[in-house]
Amino acid sequence: MFDGSSNDVSLNDHGSSVPLYQQLCLILQRQIDSGHFEPGDRFPTSRELCEMYGVSTTTVERALRQLAERGLIHRRPGRGTVVSDSPVKEELARLTGLSEAAEAQGVEFKNRVLKAEFFHPTERQAKILGLRPGEQAFRLDRLNTIRGEDPIGVELGIYSPDVGSLFLHNPESMVGSLYLNLEVRFGLRLDRASQTIGAMAAGHREAELLGLPLGSPLVYFDRVTYLDSGRPIQFVRCCLPSARYSFHAWLSRHGDGPPDVLSFGNDQVAAVAADSWQE
């Protein structure tokens, strides 16, 4: 935990080809990795770092920006800059939600509803969910957080109209694990999902919600979830800071491992899904 004491690591202002802000970024990252700063700790302010290392505000701000882009620190309203939590790991061979993956690792996970309404989907979105022309879909956007107020992901969801009606008539079901609510509360039988994983830069909305600089690297996944009848009911995009999540998959050379769920563009539905958020 930061105690305001000076640091005995100095910067090399002469004879080094590495810019000062990158040297400072590396020093601070090592302190985070070593546990000198723990998740949830308040991070030193720009002024404190300037005094500790004898560098300019510009140098400090560039170093802090790199740390934020890597997901190691983030701004929290009322507390300033804090150290981010360890990455949440998700297994790719099982159909689980982010909340289930986080809670399985002992991480407190919450979400806040940003938007919940019926709307007219685009032609591509309607095709993914198998909707008739002119049929409405349900939009449910959520901000996922850990440790109470630490933003860790933006979830943009489109659902079939029957599922949307269930959500609207039971607002409490729109928070927590949607998969568990759909199965336990509403008796739906989820079977499988098609998923595509990619990388993107944070736009204005993602940057604001996640407390990141504009253009920060994000990982996203587009997922289409099906009932055991084969009917798609959910099309969701989750945008995650690249340093806050990791994905794990078992790979088999002889075809006897878990089923693949990571698509490289061969799945037509997944390919359409990836394009449909570009409207």
| pLDDT tens digits for range 145-163 | 877 677 888 999 999 999 9
Asked: is 20-83 a CATH 1.10.10.10 domain? The reply is: yes
Tell me the percentage of the chain whose pLDDT exceeds 90.
Answer: 41
For residues 64 and 42, give the distance between their C-alpha atoms in angstroms, rounded to a whole number. 13
Arithmetic mean of pLDDT, 131-139: 96
Domain ranges for the chain, please list them: 20-83, 88-276
Bridge partners of 80, per DSSP, are 76
Arithmetic mean of pLDDT, 102-124: 85
Ramachandran assignment for 148, one of left (phi > 0), alpha (psi -120 to 50 degrees), beta (any other) = left
* Nearest CA-CA partner of 22 in 65, 75, 81: 65
> Is the pLDDT score of 195 beyond 70?
yes
* Confidence grade of residue 241 (pLDDT, cut at 50, 70, 90): confident
Arithmetic mean of pLDDT over the chain: 80
CB 165 within 8 A of CB 116: no
Q: What is the pLDDT of residues 70-99, one digit of tens each?
A: 778 877 656 688 887 665 555 555 677 767
Q: Would you identify the CATH topology of the domain 88-276?
A: Chorismate lyase (3.40.1410)
pLDDT of residue 273: 46
pLDDT of residue 74: 76
Burial class of residue 3 in the structure, from the number of CB atoms within 10 Å of its CB (0-12 exposed, 13-18 middle, 19+ buried) = exposed
Structure tokens at 194: 């098609």
Structure tokens at 181: 């609510």
